[in-house]
Structure 1
Amino acid sequence: MTQTTSSPSLIRLAGLPYFVIAFIARLPFAMMVVGVLTLAVSARGSISLGGLTSAAVGLGTACIGPLLGAAADRFGQRPVLLIIAVANAAALVLFTLAVYSTAPDAVMLIAAFAIGATAPQVAPMSRSRLVTMITENMPRSRQPKVIGGTMAYESAADETVFVFGPFLVGVLASLIAPWAPLVIGAALTVLFVGAFALHPSGAHISAARKADGAAVAPVRELFRARLLVVVVGMFGVGLFFGTMLTALTSFMEDRGHPEQAGLLYGVMGVGSAVLALGVAFLPPSFSLRNRWLVFSGILFAGTLLLFVVHDVPTMSLALGLMGIGIGPTLVTQYSFGAAHTPAGRSATVMTMLGSSIIVGQSLGAAVTGRLAESVGTSVALYLPILAAAIVVVAGVVNHVLNSPRRLAR
């Protein structure tokens, strides 16, 4: 993303403070599933209830998340983000109060659903903003490379946040109290999601879109097979995140150190973030559809090592190999999402992809937690393998749908 005489760099277009604000603003999104699970289990003493509350968060995101993206495309990101920032902070506080009260479990589940329904979709909306800046301000010849680099950065940021988020939940819950992650998350939401909403880039996109006057693609364009297969692939990635972190927590709990699960999880996250950034330097001859197959295959190979993992060193080796695959796969999926976005539906598509991750994470955490409690860690460790297989199968289907012969039709 170097500057040329023909067009400004993306950093100059957006401004360096934008990237700082957008990074911190997505932290609460990464903290909420694990934060809800941690608080519910700690205060109510039920892993099953904790799993249900996590699933309720994912259900809320699945039902409402894409609608928030559609609203952002229709009314602009700024008003939508300001409203949901306040609503999400209120939902986080309400859930915390409900957990510590004598309220029935149903109230907790409703509050958890509200947390997911009002989750600020900062990451997908940031991608939407940046892609819009690129397409409106850079020559067409530069756009593919800059968009690829941007997706690499954004995915690396997501990887870092999705690793650091659970780790931060564990630190805050241990040092302060189980309620601390959600209360601090509510404060971060108001401050940084609010700042993200008020950043000039939000107003720029809304104004540019209105001034452009281009017709918005009909809703049916969102259900094209080439886009839906990316949604399924992203769901598989989210499922992998949820199953792997929960199974890893159970693995470390068996060894008497459950608090170290986040640190061990970081072995995968660091490598994943580095490799995600490295995607920007891959040669164009290594096509996107081939990248999905290759890197998801590496992810799947890493999960197969879970069949023989019996100690921390071998688990670290498996996580390191998974990290090589997961980051580049995520970058590639977002690139496909950007490429297949219908006109005027950028925020909607990016929110669909972001929601797919959180739905998969919530479902994976809930099912894996229940399985680990009832059957044991060894069985729970099979679930990340299944999740990785979903990512690979989606990659195969995507490879067929995006073959040169089909695209030429």
Structure 2
Amino acid sequence: MRNPYAEIFRASGTKGFAAAAFIARLPIAMAPIGIVAMLSQTHGEYWLAGAVSATYALVNAFVSPQVSRLVDRRGQTAIAAPMTVVSVLSFSTLIIAANQHWPAWTLFGSALLAAAMPNIPALVRARWTEIFRDRPELNTAFAFESAADELVYVAGASLSVGLSAALFPEAGMVVSTVLLALGSTAFLLQRSSEPPARLAEHGAAGSAIGLRPVQIITFALIFVGATFATTEVTTVAITKALGQPEAASLVIGVYALGSFVLGVVVGALSLKAPLQRQLAVAVGVVALTTLPLLFADTVPVLALAVFVSGVAISPTFITAFGLIERHVPPAMLTEGVTWVTTGIGIGMALGSFAAGWMVDNFGPQNGFFVSVAAGAIALVTVLAGQRRLATDDCDADRGEAVILAE
């Protein structure tokens, strides 16, 4: 039986840049929680740790698309290399500032500059697109990357916290920074697979966020990201209330496992339905499977409900990135992908806050109402945008970039 994943790695250079990208993107999961683990131990103040981590995450969410826009115009190496240097030096300064108890402003300043870190998931997807544009193998490549993202979020956060707890407070951030430097260097040195710079080609004079399909997908994935974060926060609260706090990591791992498994399966299939309909089905499943979470009152039932609710996450991401590739001009692709990942990140931040507020004010189980509401909004958004997401309208959409930029 043909293995579609083996087929995509037969293309020259794919094994090398995929491996390097996996290492380079680990800091995406390691850094935010690593900052909290480090500062909560060195300074003993969770508010400070959370504030510095939030500064990094939120600034990165808004700066990252601008960096990716420059990448599209000037090339990956020309822009990502200096931005990586800035980020590595800033993370290093943050680590030293924490260890030496420098003034608080140095912590916030370092975190702000560290947010210049390039969006590696967008860079690697741009390379896959350059190799397999308009070919079915691209869907498999996006599925592989979505599965890699899942592994990064599960392994990265655990690794960062575990290192800080087992060795010394700064250990997680030290390893995260080293991985960023080594992984990004290895990735950018592979110039043969780097997409060419496309300065204002094909009417791409504006920003990708000016395209209606990018707006629809990004807005929808803000709420999909919210369901992801809400599940994590509420699971921790429920397992603690049930007297089994140690079960939280297992349940959250099961959530990622459900997404990982179905994502791999979807990537191996050659689905014939239009991508916008695939996205509607995937988001519909996300919305529907939030409902059983409201009735999970034991750890085994919670684990089962969480596993089921996670199955459509990766398929949602796969089809969303596929639609971005169809609707965004090549000269805007990296920026377009980055806006979607930014939406997911914003949704996770908002979902965590909303779920925490619900848990504090109405009890652990009620945190899942945020998931239900977020899933419903995401589904309505995708259904309302079906006509604009239809890939037959691709050429018209690409022309919007010029109109909106003027």
Bigger shift: 240-249 or 154-163? 240-249
CA contact (8 A) 2:280 2:382 kept: yes
Bigger shift: 72-81 or 213-222? 213-222
**Aligned pairs (5 A) from 1:64-143:** 64-100=63-99, 102-103=101-102, 105-115=104-114, 117-135=115-133, 143=134
Percent same amino acid at aligned positions? 25
SS across alignment from 2:385: helix
CA contact (8 A) 1:237 1:330 kept: no
Q: Distance in 2 between matches of 1:236 and 1:318?
A: 19
Match of 1:155 among 146, 153, 163: 146
Q: Please list the CA deviations of residues 90-127 of structure 1 after superposition, one character each: whole Å capped at 9, or x if unmatched.
A: 23233334445545555433333333x22331111100
SS across alignment from 2:195: helix
Q: Please list the CA deviations of residues 245-279 of structure 1 after superposition, one character each: whole Å capped at 9, or x if unmatched.
A: 23323333445554553332111112211211222
CA pair 164-50 structure 1, distance change in 2 beyond 3 A:
same
Task: Give the superposition deviation at 1:196.
Answer: 0.8
Q: How many residues align?
A: 393
CA contact (8 A) 1:242 1:361 kept: yes
Where does structure 1 differ by over 6 angstroms across 4 or more consecutive aligned residues?
A: 404-409
Report what 1:199 is aligned to: 190
Task: Give the superposition deviation at 1:316.
Answer: 0.6
SS across alignment from 1:206: coil
Task: Give the superposition deviation at 1:172.
Answer: 2.0
Report what 2:16 is aligned to: 17
Q: Give the TM-score, by structure 2 length.
A: 0.85
Q: Give the TM-score, by structure 1 length.
A: 0.85
CA pair 232-206 structure 1, distance change in 2 beyond 3 A:
same
Q: Distance in 2 between matches of 1:221 and 1:123?
A: 17
Report what 2:59 is aligned to: 60
Q: Distance in 1 between matches of 2:395 and 2:178?
A: 50
**Aligned pairs (5 A) from 1:303-322:** 303-322=290-309
Query: Over aligned residue pairs, what C-alpha RMSD do you find?
Result: 3.0
Q: Please list the CA deviations of residues 335-355 of structure 1 after superposition, one character each: whole Å capped at 9, or x if unmatched.
A: 111111124111111222222
**Residue type of the alignment partner of 1:295:** A
Report what 2:374 is aligned to: 387
CA pair 130-172 structure 1, distance change in 2 beyond 3 A:
same
Report what 1:298 is aligned to: 285
1:396 aligns with 2:383: yes
Task: Give the superposition deviation at 1:219.
Answer: 0.7
CA pair 408-132 structure 1, distance change in 2 beyond 3 A:
closer
Q: Distance in 1 between matches of 2:302 and 2:40?
A: 26
Q: Distance in 2 between matches of 1:64 and 1:248?
A: 31
**Residue type of the alignment partner of 2:338:** T
Q: Distance in 1 between matches of 2:49 and 2:355?
A: 12
CA pair 110-357 structure 1, distance change in 2 beyond 3 A:
farther
Q: Distance in 1 between matches of 2:106 and 2:350?
A: 20
CA contact (8 A) 1:299 1:321 kept: no
Report what 2:311 is aligned to: 324
Any stretches of 5+ residues in structure 1 without a counterpart?
136-142
CA pair 164-302 structure 1, distance change in 2 beyond 3 A:
farther
Q: Please list the CA deviations of residues 114-173 of structure 1 after superposition, one character each: whole Å capped at 9, or x if unmatched.
A: 33x2233111110011101223xxxxxxx3412211111111111221222222223223
SS across alignment from 1:251: helix
Report what 1:187 is aligned to: 178
Any stretches of 5+ residues in structure 2 without a counterpart?
397-406
Q: Distance in 2 between matches of 1:180 and 1:122?
A: 23
CA contact (8 A) 2:87 2:117 kept: yes
